[in-house]
Amino acid sequence: MSSIDTVLMTGKPVATALYERLKPRIEVLGQKGITPGLVALLVGDDPASAIYVGSKTRKFEELGLLAETRTLPGDISRDDLLAVIAELNAADRFHGLLVQLPLPNHLPANDLLESVAPAKDIDGFHPFNLGRLLAGNPTFIPCTPQGILELLSHYGITVAGRHAVIVGRSNIVGKPLAALLSAKQPSGNATVTLCHTGTANLAHHTRQADLLIVASGQAGLVTPDMVTPGVVIVDVGINRTGDDSPKGYHLRGDVDTEKMLGIAQAITPVPGGVGPLTVAMLVSNTVLAAERSAGVVHN
Ligand code: NAD
């Protein structure tokens, strides 16, 4: 049997190309005295969340944009956190406001996400923005699904007409991605199957995919026997698995990339696949928010 020369779809060149496209837009804003600004709320001391927020704000700083992190105690009350969000909603220097998830258990994430001003909701998690996405008229598209579309387009993978199987139904990845891939748009027009923990016989569905997107948070969930040769695989998962490396952990995807080489037409590595695109789309959405607040229209 002839082996497929699997393309490794790394995220960095895609993100770099996107930053190049954003630079002139950032310059136009600069000429008007506007620096796109992000404020990130980090509640508690979850080390993974601190790393994610750090990688987001560092990128803003590298691009000469404003980024501030507000670190709040893990035992902050709902009302106190709502007051901080209200203050930041009103602060003109911040065009984007993100609440890093997960929040400590005592805080109702849905309530708090609804308190972010929709015009500053650059993560696209507010029901207003999620609703607009579902209605086919998006304002802010959640960063990871938007990044996945960008990545596929960069590597010349046409989505239209494919059978896309998504594993995971979160509001952050799976559900918005299902809406985007099935939208009547050039970047969509796929037939979508959405799998989750209630799915009977996951492998039966993943084998039907010619585009498989896995966002389950389960390291190594999808194995070679669960796919059809020639499939395009996007591995969204970032899982910390313990080992004896100096860090004490290793990052693994939901798919074992090595084992898919020679089987998949293309696959994203973990780390270095979808992750850089999530950050790039956050920058892109913040630039868009700044443009809207200044009445600047870009084409
Ligand atoms: P989540 O925990 O909110 O959702 C996981 C989903 O997977 C659930 O809908 C669940 O039904 C489904 N699932 C779990 N186990 C399953 C199984 N055995 N069979 C079928 N379905 C199963 O997670 P999330 O926020 O969507 O994130 C998913 C993964 O993607 C995590 O590892 C997360 O760290 C990663 N992530 C990465 C990026 C990135 O930028 N690369 C961004 C967001 C999330």
> What per-residue confidence (pLDDT) applies to 299?
60
Fold match between 32-118 and 142-275?
A: yes
Domain-by-domain residue ranges, the chain?
A: 32-118, 142-275
> What per-residue confidence (pLDDT) applies to 2?
64
| Residue type (1 letter), 175 | K
Q: How far is the CA of 15 from the centre of ligand 1 (A)?
A: 22
Phi, psi of 262 (to 5 degrees): 90, -10
> What per-residue confidence (pLDDT) applies to 297?
84
Phi, psi of 7 (to 5 degrees): -85, 130
> What per-residue confidence (pLDDT) applies to 249?
86
Fold of 32-118: Rossmann fold (3.40.50)
> What per-residue confidence (pLDDT) applies to 185?
92
Provide the 10 A C-beta neighbour count for residue 230: 12
Stretch (H or E) spanning 40: strand 37-43
> What per-residue confidence (pLDDT) applies to 244?
77
> What per-residue confidence (pLDDT) applies to 1?
55
Could you report the per-residue pLDDT of 115-145, keeping only the tens digit for each? 999 999 999 999 999 999 999 999 999 999 9
Fold of 142-275: Rossmann fold (3.40.50)
> What per-residue confidence (pLDDT) applies to 248?
83
Q: How far is the CA of 127 from the centre of ligand 1 (A)?
A: 20
Residue of the CA atom closest to atom 41 of ligand 1: 275
Give the residue ranges of the chain where pLDDT is below 50. Answer: none
- For residue 197 and ligand 1, the question of a CB distance below 6 A is answered with yes
